[in-house]
Amino acid sequence: MLLISLKELEHREYHAHAHNLLRECLKVYGIAYSEDTPINKNDMGKPSLAEYPHIHFNLSHAKGISACIVSGSECGIDCEQVRKCSQGVMRRAFTESERALVESLPEDQHDLMFTRLWTLKESYVKAIGIGVSYPLNTVGFSFGGSSIISTKKDCSFRQYLIQGGRYVVSVCRLNKPQE
C-alpha cells in the first residue's frame, strides 16, 4: 500500500506526518500502530515492526510532501521536490550512462531527470536497508517508455511524477523476501 500526502507543514512536523501515513496504511493490515508499537532496527537503522516481521514499511518526506509504503517484501521509498541538478552528486553517485542521459536532455529538463534518478537510487538503498553508504554509482537506471530499467534485477521500481513533475516519488520493492 502506498500513501502520498502533499501538505505544507513546518519542517519539524513532516516526520510525525509520515508516521500518521504509516498508521493509516497499517490499519488495512489490522495493525494498530502507535508510538508504543515495538520497533526493531537493523545495523544501519532501518526500522521494522517487531511483532510483524512479514510486514515491511518505509517512509520519506521532503518540503511539501510525505510518503509511506507498506509491503509484504522489503521496500524503500523516496520523495523529493524537484531539485537543482548537482554536477558533484552526478560525478559521485551516477553512472556514466545516467550522466549522459541527463546531459542529453534540453537544459530545462536536467533538474527533473536528476531528481528522478536520485530518488530511484534512494529508494533502492532504503529497500536494502543500507542507506547512502552504499556506492550509488553501482546501481544504474534508464527509461524505456513508461518502464524503469535497472541494473539491479532483483527489484521492481515505480515512479510517480506529481503536480506536473513538481514532485517525484520513487518506490523500490525487492522481488524476493529477505531472510
Q: Which pLDDT tens digit goes with each residue over 106-138?
A: 999 999 999 999 999 999 999 999 877 889 999
pLDDT band at 176 (very low <50, low <70, confident <90, very high): low
Instruction: Please report, for residues 41, 67, 109, 162, the alpha-carbon distance to residue 45 in angstroms, rounded to integers and kept in the order given.
Output: 5, 19, 35, 29
Q: Residues 14-30: what's their mean pLDDT?
A: 96
Percentage of the chain surpassing pLDDT 90?
Answer: 90
Answer whether residue 168 shows pLDDT above 60: yes
Phi, psi of 169 (to 5 degrees): -120, 125
Under a CB-based contact definition with an 8 Å cutoff, are residues 23 and 41 in contact? no
CATH architecture of 2-72: Alpha-Beta Complex (3.90)
pLDDT band at 179 (very low <50, low <70, confident <90, very high): very low
- Residues 28, 30: Cα–Cα separation, whole Å: 5
| CATH level 3 topology of 77-174 | Ribosomal Protein L22; Chain A (3.90.470)
Q: Where do the structural domains in the chain lie, given as residue ranges?
A: 2-72, 77-174
Check residue 133 and give its pLDDT.
81
Check residue 45 and give its pLDDT.
87
Tens digit of each residue's pLDDT (9 = 90 or more) over 34-69:
989 999 998 888 999 999 999 999 999 999 999 999
Report the SS3 class of residue 2. Answer: strand
2-72 with 77-174: one CATH topology? yes
Answer whether residue 1 shows pLDDT above 80: yes
DSSP string, 15-76: HHHHHHHHHHHHHHTT----TTS-EEE-TT--EEETT-TT-EEEEEEETTEEEEEEESS-EE
